[in-house]
Chains A and B, each alone.
Chain A
């Protein structure tokens, strides 16, 4: 049952853009006046429609498979989960189909099935209870390319954070397929900052951080980024970023890591809750609650 659920979210993520992303793109088109930018938004939305209609992947880069598992301490098959997620990835690769994207960096060989050492990647959180909340993000290579990590001088504080973020978006330019979703992680350790940034890409567009000061920082950064005027695919206009997320962890007095992660406009994510008894509740692609599989 976990296998079926995992395969379903991978498949659905590849084919159907989540509603929050689709709506944000539609709104961006409605307010846009730049003719080249409008043409790009129209092509994007037509592509999203066609992908759903034909049940084909939205983008040919079906990404690296990232699972985010929030596992209840009493969820029964905890230790079996990695094996199941590998199997789900292999099956979805054949059934959707997904592009084989897992390459051995030493021997430069593609495994052919999107699995390999540390792939799919699994981000674990152990929580109370006995259910599994499982998310998948299909992370495209183009939006991974401009990932940025900066160790700033703590004395400069948030001013330096803002500079790192706007510089990262400027340096990325048209490459990560804007309009992007920008996610910023702040922490003492470099790996912690990037992990927090990556996790925050799961939050829906428009949802602000519960801490009002962090929420205000998110909005300020969004305003600054959209002043750059890079726009959809770099053709200018109002929307360079659809949203900005910020997450933080306490830092070391002498160490301040700023991580900036990107998602392309084709932000493909999907989530499901699997109960102890195997019953499922799909969180983003709710039609899955009625049908069996995306080809069902």
Chain B
């Protein structure tokens, strides 16, 4: 359980040093995208166009924030915890390949296709404490840009400047390990070997 502080953009070499269970804090540019923004980025790339932000080496955050517009016209991020990442599982492997993003941040874990893409392209998936939205917002220093507000505030792409954003626990590393998959396999064993017999099921 090593602890790292990374500046974004981060190199492939640095990301490949991370192992599941490690804790990371990131500083630099982090971009939010949920289902709809993922889809839109991939549609653009398919057409040979570029997404509005160059995501190479950056952190991608599965998050739909609560925001407020200040009297100055600037956006303020009020609360910004992670959303459930599995919804993005169907799109994430393609997204990693298309954008070169290195750190994917969310909650609840991701599946084998994402783990394979992390291994192949040199990326990790890390978890921010679900629901800890004010803690997250405190590490977000400002909104640099926002794109695609037509998707609604939660689904828009927020480009954020963050400082020591974390603690992030790496649960998928670039060696193909998936910590949640391992922990859930243990839970399954307990379910079948300890819990079912107690209920009277075999």
Q: Which residues of A contact B (CB under 8 A)?
A: 35-36, 39-40, 43-44, 46-47, 50-51, 54, 56-62, 97-101, 103, 109-110, 112, 140-142, 145, 159, 162-163, 166-167, 170, 173-175, 177, 224, 227-230, 233-236, 264-266
Number of interface residues of B (CB under 8 A): 51
Q: Is the CB of A58 within 8 A of B191?
A: no
| Bound-state Cα–Cα, A236 to B180, Å | 10
Determine how close the nearest CB of chain B comes to the CB of A275; give it in whole angstroms: 33
Q: Is the CB of A224 within 8 A of B199?
A: yes
Contact A224 B134, CB 8 Å, known A177-B107, A233-B129: no
Q: Mark interface residues in B143-168 (1 if CB within 8 Å of A CB, else 0).
A: 00000000011110000000000010
Q: Is the CB of B138 within 8 A of A43?
A: no
| Bound-state Cα–Cα, A57 to B131, Å | 10
| Bound-state Cα–Cα, A103 to B36, Å | 13
Q: Is the CB of B194 within 8 A of A44?
A: no
| Bound-state Cα–Cα, A166 to B109, Å | 20
| Bound-state Cα–Cα, A140 to B154, Å | 13
Residues of A close to B1: CB separation below 8 A? 35-36
B18 interface residue per 8 A CB criterion:
no
Q: Is the CB of B137 within 8 A of A173?
A: no
**Chain A interface: which of B42-50, B77-85, B115-123?**
B77-85
**Chain A interface: which of B4-12, B59-67, B90-98?**
B59-67
| Bound-state Cα–Cα, A177 to B169, Å | 15
Residues of A close to B152: CB separation below 8 A? 100, 103, 109-110, 112
Q: Is the CB of B199 within 8 A of A166?
A: yes
Residues of A close to B68: CB separation below 8 A? 97
| Bound-state Cα–Cα, A3 to B126, Å | 42
Residues of B close to A266: CB separation below 8 A? 131
Closest 7 CB pairs of A and B: A110-B152, A47-B132, A60-B79, A43-B129, A177-B130, A60-B133, A175-B108
| Bound-state Cα–Cα, A46 to B167, Å | 12
Contact A173 B108, CB 8 Å, known A56-B134, A59-B81, A142-B84: yes
| Bound-state Cα–Cα, A75 to B75, Å | 43
8 CB contacts below 8 A, A to B, read A43-B167, A56-B66, A60-B137, A61-B131, A99-B79, A142-B107, A177-B131, A265-B130
B198 interface residue per 8 A CB criterion:
yes
| Bound-state Cα–Cα, A140 to B68, Å | 20
Residues of A close to B99: CB separation below 8 A? none
Q: Is the CB of A60 within 8 A of B64?
A: yes
Residues of B close to A145: CB separation below 8 A? 84
Residues of B close to A60: CB separation below 8 A? 63-66, 78-81, 133, 136-137
In the complex, given contacts A36-B169, A173-B187, what are 19 additional A-B residue pairs having Cβ atoms less than 8 angstroms apart? A43-B132, A44-B131, A44-B132, A50-B134, A56-B134, A60-B65, A62-B79, A98-B66, A100-B152, A110-B155, A142-B83, A159-B199, A162-B199, A166-B191, A173-B184, A174-B109, A228-B190, A235-B183, A265-B130
B41 interface residue per 8 A CB criterion:
no
B195 interface residue per 8 A CB criterion:
yes
Residues of B close to A173: CB separation below 8 A? 108-109, 180, 184, 187
| Bound-state Cα–Cα, A36 to B80, Å | 22
Contact A175 B84, CB 8 Å, known A39-B167, A99-B64, A224-B198: yes
Which of B84, B137, B155, B167 counts the most chain A CB atoms within 10 A?
A: B84
Contact A265 B66, CB 8 Å, known A142-B84, A228-B191: no
Q: Is the CB of B183 within 8 A of A236?
A: yes
Q: Is the CB of B134 within 8 A of A51?
A: yes
Partner among A57, A174, A177 whose Cβ is within 8 Å of the Cβ of B180: A174
Contact A159 B131, CB 8 Å, known A170-B187, A173-B180, A228-B187: no
Determine how close the nearest CB of chain B comes to the CB of A39; give it in whole angstroms: 6
Q: Is the CB of A99 within 8 A of B65?
A: yes
| Bound-state Cα–Cα, A145 to B107, Å | 13
Determine how close the nearest CB of chain B comes to the CB of A17; give it in whole angstroms: 10
B2 interface residue per 8 A CB criterion:
no
Q: Is the CB of A57 within 8 A of B84?
A: no
Residues of B close to A227: CB separation below 8 A? 190, 194-195, 198
| Bound-state Cα–Cα, A100 to B154, Å | 8
B176 interface residue per 8 A CB criterion:
no
Q: Is the CB of B109 within 8 A of A47?
A: no
Residues of A close to B66: CB separation below 8 A? 56-57, 60, 62, 97-99
> Looking across the interface, which residue of chain A has its beta carbon closest to that of B128?
A43
Residues of A close to B79: CB separation below 8 A? 51, 56-60, 62, 99
